[in-house]
Structure 1
């Protein structure tokens, strides 16, 4: 491999082409002011695959589908941790779960973590619902985590966490952490087997319909809509609306809103939404 310099530059034309490629394959819109970010994330990859320029790398992308996934992994932003935004979890536990149980059906709860990243959110859901399973006879659950990045899904599937990733969960819900996470500070912590058995992760582009699944009771779509245009957000939310039960609940990110979008959801609290046409009971 040649010794490439770290000062490989990206022309405006290369930037425009790469933005279009990323949007076409992920739906993510890279802003016109994010050129420096894109250069910093891709320079190392150019050296790894021995490409002398961004123009050459763009040509490579047209011929190598595997490299397209690598590009997706490099440009997506993935920051998450257990028990993020406590008020989301408070609503989930104190409002939604009692509604669900009030119906009296022994129906498995199905939850979708639709921007799962490295899996902390899905594992938080699993720990909370495992506690429910142990205290509510007949209750069971499944959690599906999806993401467009194969790299982060590998981390999610391994499910070993430590440090900042688990710090909030460990501090604010020590009893739940101790009951449903096993391990050590040295080796990391992993969800107990009953939780892991009910978690599944798969690759998925939110701009495409998620096939092969029954409706979900809860969808977590947090901190991802901000990377899409309004039009693409509406497409994503239509897909979600098609897959959420009439009595279901949707959680979005703290910096996100569905105001001024045509979505089929109505706000019940900040960042918490329900389908507009839901039935009167919690499990129609």
Structure 2
């Protein structure tokens, strides 16, 4: 009786069967495994699409989704989580500055190719770029450093590519770094900040579905894939991590989120620091 009462309060009819079909479609399209308790989350995230399409139920939306391939991108965009912040999990950036760059300089290896997989609105790849270009004692301006920044959500990629953020988004960044790497907006752009072009030039933004062929066409020294694996089931995690190991150079590094552990699903990596793994 309680479930029926809740259904009546909803703007759109949404059954358990609808939810199960949407879960399966998300898994098939993006490899994302939604927990059974996230029915309310799915409802809240998709209601705007139903309103925009002038549909009256989730059954209608499912029919529309199956009939219009172009809607799949909107569906995936709505379902993906894009929590991000500049220099989130700061120990990773401290490692790049204090250990990784000095080690590269000592060996004379200057080329650094990076993949930020699941870059969201750009805070992560721009933070990586700043860390690699802002060493106090090592001038890396002439080093060939490049980065692929990818996400499955086309909307957040557009934000990342533009590199424009409201000032509260960058308040947590050290003042010296803000002045060095961001341009404050004036006039109609007051209250906004833009990443400097020299950082943007390092990044190649791409729409990449981690469960599909990546077509990276390069080997990599560093991969950041943080707080992404938590959305996949173990077999999918294993396939993705095996692919990342294949794309890393020998001794290449993988940076993951605080609740993720690649060694649980593959033996291709070894732990060398706090949520930092090296390809075996």
TM norm structure 1: 0.89
1:102 equivalenced with 2:103 (yes/no): no
Can you give the 5+ residue segments of structure 2 that lack an aligned partner in the other structure?
A: 1-8
Residues 119-156 of structure 1: CA deviation (Å, up to 9, x unaligned): 11111112222335981474121111100000100100
> In the alignment, which of 109, 114, 121 is matched to residue 111 of structure 1?
114
Residues 94-130 of structure 1: CA deviation (Å, up to 9, x unaligned): 111112222213x431111001000111111122223
* CA distance in 1: counterparts of 2:95 and 2:74, whole angstroms: 37
Cα pair 2:241 2:262 within 8 Å, conserved = no
Question: Partner residue of 1:179?
Answer: 180
> In the alignment, which of 65, 88, 92 is matched to residue 92 of structure 2?
88
* CA distance in 1: counterparts of 2:42 and 2:123, whole angstroms: 26
> In the alignment, which of 118, 122, 126 is matched to residue 123 of structure 1?
126
* CA distance in 1: counterparts of 2:140 and 2:50, whole angstroms: 54
Q: Secondary structure at the match of 1:34?
A: helix
Question: Partner residue of 1:216?
Answer: 220
> In the alignment, which of 126, 151, 157 is matched to residue 153 of structure 1?
157
1:78 equivalenced with 2:82 (yes/no): yes
* CA distance in 1: counterparts of 2:224 and 2:50, whole angstroms: 35
Q: CA deviation at 1:51?
A: 1.5
* CA distance in 1: counterparts of 2:198 and 2:147, whole angstroms: 12
* CA distance in 1: counterparts of 2:141 and 2:106, whole angstroms: 13
Cα pair 1:81 1:164 within 8 Å, conserved = no
* CA distance in 2: counterparts of 1:157 and 1:134, whole angstroms: 27
Question: Partner residue of 1:281?
Answer: none
Aligned alpha-carbon RMSD (Å)? 1.9
Question: Partner residue of 1:18?
Answer: 22
> In the alignment, which of 31, 36, 42 is matched to residue 38 of structure 1?
42
* CA distance in 2: counterparts of 1:178 and 1:257, whole angstroms: 36
Residues 28-81 of structure 1: CA deviation (Å, up to 9, x unaligned): 111111000000111121111011211111111111111000000101000101
Cα pair 1:8 1:53 within 8 Å, conserved = yes
> In the alignment, which of 58, 61, 65 is matched to residue 65 of structure 2?
61
1:179 to 1:16, Cα distance in 2 relative to 1, 3 A:
same
1:49 to 1:38, Cα distance in 2 relative to 1, 3 A:
same
TM norm structure 2: 0.90
Cα pair 2:101 2:132 within 8 Å, conserved = no
1:61 to 1:242, Cα distance in 2 relative to 1, 3 A:
same
* CA distance in 2: counterparts of 1:265 and 1:209, whole angstroms: 21
Cα pair 2:27 2:33 within 8 Å, conserved = yes
* CA distance in 1: counterparts of 2:46 and 2:226, whole angstroms: 26
* CA distance in 1: counterparts of 2:43 and 2:141, whole angstroms: 54
Question: Partner residue of 1:50?
Answer: 54
Cα pair 1:128 1:176 within 8 Å, conserved = no
Higher mean Cα deviation, 33-42 or 190-199? 190-199
Cα pair 1:209 1:239 within 8 Å, conserved = no
Question: Partner residue of 1:195?
Answer: 199
